[in-house]
Amino acid sequence: MTSDTLTAPVTQATSRRLVPTVSGAAAVLSDCWTITNRNLIKLRRSPDMILFAVAQPIMFVLLFSQVYGGSIRVEGTDYTNYLMAGIFGQTVVFGATFSGSGMAQDLKEGLIDRFRTLPMNPIAVIVGRTSADLVLNAISMVIMILTGLVVGWRFTNGFMSFLGGVGLLLLFAYAFSWVMALLGMLVRTPETINNASFMVLFPLTFISNAFVQSSNLPGPLEFLANWNPVSGLVQAARELFGNTGSAPLPDTWPMQHPVPTVLIGSVVMLAIFVPLCVARFKKISAR
């Protein structure tokens, strides 16, 4: 028996073991679902993560509507209705940071090293992470909606428009989670991305129209608020929920056309950061 006859069966068996049984788009979707399901199972086993994810928006709703609501006035609408879109926008933006900290944690624990030994499409790990975090954001949205209804918030523009507003918020959150996922692969520890993201996101959400009208801010801050992407997201949600009232809009393109602004911004973020995330993941896997 020659060496060729001995090595041929081994090579074929190895090939069958390493090559996925499905190919093309079906293989990519299968890989993405596998990693998403893994992250959802991990999420179910960490109820404290879900608790903290939903406790913060509830706290902000109650704090601003019940404690500060009587002292804050907005022109042309009830403050509770004005507030809720801001809370929604703030929550989905902060919720996107889970993608960054999750990627950093997986890198720290060596999980990415184990994934790279599998016949898996490189995009599956990131899609699985961002998709699972989208589910967590959706859970937070449901809790916020119920809390808002309890404190007197109402959507008045029809149910389909309401669903459109929820969908737009989640689309922006999903696109932004790719930004955070890239940051999670660039930093060394989850603690680093948590500290860095909060230092950026707190000013981004509070120097906006989320909680007060931008016209009440000083000149430079008013300009920043009117061009802040969070302001565009919040204004789009207010329009779709029917919570704008008769309040005048700033004469800037994002505020005059908030829904197209958010759609365009989300598509641009995905177009830029999906390839960057995949390239970074391949670079990490090649080490």
pLDDT number for residue 21: 43
pLDDT number for residue 15: 37
Model pTM above 0.95:
no
In the predicted structure, residue 259 carries a pLDDT above the cut 90: yes
- For residue 287, what pLDDT band results from cuts at 50, 70 and 90? low
Average pLDDT rounded to a whole number, residues 251-264: 94
Percent of the chain with pLDDT over 70: 90
In the predicted structure, residue 184 carries a pLDDT above the cut 80: yes
- For residue 252, what pLDDT band results from cuts at 50, 70 and 90? very high
In the predicted structure, residue 13 carries a pLDDT above the cut 60: no
The DSSP-derived string for the chain is: --HHHHHHHHHHHHHHHHS-SS-HHHHHHHHHHHHHHHHHHHHHT-HHHHHHHHHHHHHHHHIIIIIITTT---TTS-HHHHHHHHHHHHHHHHHTHHHHHHHHHHHHHTHHHHHTTSS--HHHHHHHHHHHHHHHHHHHHHHHHHHHHHTT----S-HHHHHHHHHHHHHHHHHHHHHHHHHHHHSS-HHHHHHHHHHHHHHHHHSSSSSS-GGGS-HHHHHHHHH-HHHHHHHHHHHHHT--TTPPPPSSHHHHSHHHHHHHHHHHHHHHHHHHHHHHHHHHHT-
pLDDT tens-place string over residues 215-236: 888 889 999 999 999 999 999 9
In the predicted structure, residue 59 carries a pLDDT above the cut 80: yes
**C-alpha–C-alpha distance, residues 120 and 118, integer Å:** 5
In the predicted structure, residue 18 carries a pLDDT above the cut 50: no
Average pLDDT rounded to a whole number, residues 138-149: 90
In the predicted structure, residue 2 carries a pLDDT above the cut 60: no
Average pLDDT rounded to a whole number, residues 235-257: 90
Retrieve residue 161's tokens: 């428009």
